[in-house]
Copies of this chain bind each other. A is one copy, B any other.
């Protein structure tokens, strides 16, 4: 479950760093297809030659964009989890949602970059596809591990419910249909955990 931090496929020179920073901002704000390499190079204050010398293709910039954002998210999440170290799995599950809420307020005006990229990249053979599915799988595994500490029997079911609430809050935030969806998710999560943990794997209720 430790992320295997594979080395960057890209030499991160100062120019490359500026390219990636510009690409992250532009891709997230306007979408991947809507942003061309000329614009990225111009915003980064770099020539296209430098851009292609470092990254080789636009696809690779997309991969680095998503992988980098995922990495920053995991670091951020780790900080929130450290803050409740020693406390039980309930507190850590709540901490995940609180981390997402803080992240969404700070970085997430346009929703989840992974969900958005998944919508733009129909083709599963795109090199960014594993980054996207890997990130979502990682989140599900995280929830599953925490759920197992609460009730090993129904852990998968609880984890999937948490995943639904989390993804739902991400997309609701992106569409903006009602305010503070993570607040709503948190309320529901606290309620589920307080009740002795929601629908388990089996055929529901007492």
Among the stretches A1-9, A76-84, A162-170, the one at the interface with B is A162-170
Determine whether the beta carbon of A33 is less than 8 Å from that of B120: yes
Q: A123 contacts which chain B residues (CB < 8 A)?
A: 30
Determine whether the beta carbon of B168 is less than 8 Å from that of A166: yes
- Known interface pairs A122-B30, A133-B175, A188-B164; A204-B194 also in contact (CB < 8 Å): yes
- Known interface pairs A163-B172, A164-B165, A164-B168; A157-B110 also in contact (CB < 8 Å): no
How does the 8 Å CB contact mask read for A27-55 relative to B, with 1 for contact and 0 for none?
00111011000000000000000000000
Number of copies: 2
Determine whether the beta carbon of A168 is less than 8 Å from that of B163: yes
B-binding residues in A (CB < 8 A): 29-31, 33-34, 110-111, 114-123, 132-133, 136-137, 140, 157, 160-161, 163-172, 174-178, 181, 184-185, 187-188, 190-191, 194-195, 198-199, 204-206
**Can you name 30 A-B pairs with beta carbons within 8 Å?**
A29-B122, A30-B122, A30-B123, A31-B120, A110-B122, A111-B118, A115-B174, A118-B174, A118-B175, A132-B175, A133-B175, A133-B177, A140-B177, A140-B178, A163-B177, A164-B168, A164-B169, A165-B165, A167-B167, A167-B172, A168-B169, A171-B171, A187-B199, A187-B204, A187-B205, A188-B199, A190-B205, A191-B198, A194-B205, A194-B206
